[in-house]
Amino acid sequence: MNSLTDDWILILDFGSQYTQLIARRIRELNVYCEIHPFNTDPDTFKNHPPSGIILSGGPSSVYDDDAPELNLDYLELDLPVLGICYGLQSLAHAIHPGAVEKAEKREFGRATLLVDDNSDLLKDLESQSTVWMSHGDHIKDLPDSYRPIAHTSNAPVAAVRHNEKEIYGVQFHPEVVHTDEGKTIFKNFVDDICGCSRTWTAASFIETQIRDIRDQVGDENVLCALSGGVDSTVVATLLHKAIGNQLQCIFVDNGLLRKNEYQNVLNTYREHLNLPVKGVDASQEFLDNLNGVVDPEEKRKIIGSTFIDVFDREVLDEGKYTFLAQGTLYPDVIESISFKGPSATIKSHHNVGGLPEKMNLTLVEPVRELFKDEVRNVGRELGIPESFIGRHPFPGPGLGIRIIADITKERLVLLREADAIFIDALREHDLYDEVWQALAVLLPIQSVGVMGDERTYEFTIALRAVTSLDGMTADWAHLPYDFLSIVSNRIINEVKGINRVVYDVSSKPPSTIEWE
């Protein structure tokens, strides 16, 4: 549990794809929150109780055999509660004589909310507003102590409240942008009902983390692996501010970096950020270890274990270092557990795993509780140049998971050149800052083409660009056709070995941002 603030909101996750969005909306109000599985023991929080509890939505029906059930002990904590969609249904189902049933007309998409009681939770809402529904069940009977405070044409109970306690529920999803006044609902809950103070800011985070880092580290030395990305750079800058020359950074060229990335980033670290950085060129070692490997999970594990070998050889001399700093983010933590407990992991995260176990180091993860945009705000507060803060995310395994085949020097050259053309063109056309992440992927597909009068049989590049706030969800970026045409022509004309370019129009979910 975080020690940064006395006021915080607990979000119990019942499996909704929107749970992370709830957290984002609360954080946007400068209030700290954490997501925990629905079956977390309430005693977990007895030493630092939350100011309020939000019950997320979920894909289940309350009548499913394995449906997640609300632990009624949470209602005995005498804290404000807000149930969202399934969270509301779990309330109604758990408390006699409430009842939930299959709706005659399921509601998916926009609906008009008609407010019956505009006090407390629905204060300052218009009498009619658009909300986003996503449910097949609805509440048939409310428990005796509850009353409806809003409805829609299909749902007579669209929002409820307890007659005496600060317990509320909504059948719709206030966390999604399609709900016009969702931010007002969360503001009412957090500010007025829970009484939270808005102290969750970048400045307060830095102040508290510097103190916590000093308390954790003491007089010991810290090793920080720099990737060239925003996360590890913010971590290193924060640590340097906290402990000065007790920090040693290492930036490894793993042979999987973008074009000219190693030298450019190393210069930025040393000349502009004044970080103590040791550069290590281990590119051939990584490529040798990855020779012939196709499976993406195996690639990630090999890259991780090779990093350990490099650290062992280059910097871990005679137990000089006690701590290892990592740029683990909150989405990494969330995606590594499921609402039912340990998950079947979608992908192993480069910063969440067994790295310190073999190295016998204690982890320092100062941005573990932050989303990506929050890390950027902290970086700005620390004075890191905007040109660096605004850089697109780049995965720890680098181009290794953007070659959908075994990795060779020849394929890396093709991908590097195509990627550089794409990224440079985005900058030249003032589109770089319009997208959250852009990348090129080399596909293991060769196809027939014609260049001049000659037949070609060459590789395909897939371009991907997405818009997002934090990477938890993302939509494909609607880049102009003329721009895509320019990029395609340049790649095909300038990168010998590529004769076809395609554009990825998949969103997350169901797809992930990276292909592997």
How far is the C-alpha of 246 from the C-alpha of 218, rounded, in Å? 10
Q: Is 503 exposed, middle or buried (0-12, 13-18, 19+ CB in 10 A)?
A: middle
Q: What is the length of the chain?
A: 516
What pLDDT sits at residue 509? 83
Q: Which two tokens stand for residue 193?
A: 């009902």
Gyration radius (Cα) of the chain, Å: 25
How do 99-115 and 146-151 pair as beta strands? Answer: antiparallel
Q: Which residue among the candidates 175, 261, 369, 516 is catalytic per the annotation?
A: 175
How far is the C-alpha of 326 from the C-alpha of 470, rounded, in Å? 18
Amino acid identity for residue 99 in this structure: A
Q: Is 317 exposed, middle or buried (0-12, 13-18, 19+ CB in 10 A)?
A: exposed
Rounded to 5 degrees, what are φ and ψ at 150?
Answer: -165, 160
Amino acid identity for residue 445 in this structure: I
Q: What is the pLDDT along the chain (516 residues), one digit of tens a residue?
A: 455 567 999 999 998 888 988 999 999 999 999 999 999 999 999 999 999 999 999 888 877 788 899 999 999 999 999 999 999 888 887 775 555 555 555 556 788 999 999 889 999 999 999 998 875 566 777 888 889 999 988 788 899 999 999 999 999 999 988 899 999 999 999 999 999 999 999 999 999 999 999 999 999 999 998 888 889 999 999 999 999 999 999 999 999 999 999 999 999 899 989 999 999 999 999 999 999 999 999 999 999 889 888 877 877 665 688 898 988 888 877 766 655 543 334 444 444 444 555 567 888 999 999 988 899 999 999 999 888 898 898 888 999 999 999 999 999 999 999 999 999 999 999 999 999 999 999 999 888 887 665 777 889 999 999 998 767 778 999 999 999 999 999 999 999 999 999 999 999 988 889 998
DSSP for 386-451, please give it: HHHHTPPP--TTGGGGSBSS---HHHHHHHHHHHHHHHHHHHHTT-GGGSSEEEEEEEEEEEEEEE
Q: Which of 175, 180, 201, 178 lies closest to 82 in space, CA to CA?
A: 175
Question: Among this protein's residues, is 85 annotated catalytic?
Answer: yes
Please report how many Cα atoms fall inside a 13 Å half-sphere around the Cα of residue 496, on the Cβ side.
1
Q: Which two tokens stand for residue 331?
A: 């989405």
Question: Among this protein's residues, is 249 annotated catalytic?
Answer: no
Q: Which residue among the candidates 135, 138, 173, 349 is catalytic per the annotation?
A: 173
How far is the C-alpha of 9 from the C-alpha of 11, rounded, in Å? 6
What pLDDT sits at residue 347? 44
Contact status, residue 132 vs residue 176, Cβ threshold 8 Å: yes
What pLDDT sits at residue 103? 53
How far is the C-alpha of 254 from the C-alpha of 280, rounded, in Å? 9
What pLDDT sits at residue 100? 59
DSSP for 175-226, please give it: TSTTSTTHHHHHHIIIIIIT-------HHHHHHHHHHHHHHHHTT--EEEEE
Q: Which of 472, 445, 443 lies closest to 457 in space, CA to CA?
A: 445
List, in order, residues 6 or more apart from 69 with CB less than 8 Å away.
38, 90, 94
Q: For residue 358, what is the enclosing H or E element?
A: helix 355-359
What pLDDT sits at residue 452? 63
- Maximum C-alpha span of the chain: 82
Question: Among this protein's residues, is 173 annotated catalytic?
Answer: yes
How far is the C-alpha of 179 from the C-alpha of 196, rounded, in Å? 23
Q: Which of 250, 261, 213, 229 lies closest to 327 in space, CA to CA?
A: 229
Q: Which of 163, 168, 158 lies closest to 144 in space, CA to CA?
A: 163
Q: Which residue among the candidates 33, 85, 224, 249 is catalytic per the annotation?
A: 85
- The total of other beta-carbon atoms located within 10 Å of residue 118's CB is 14
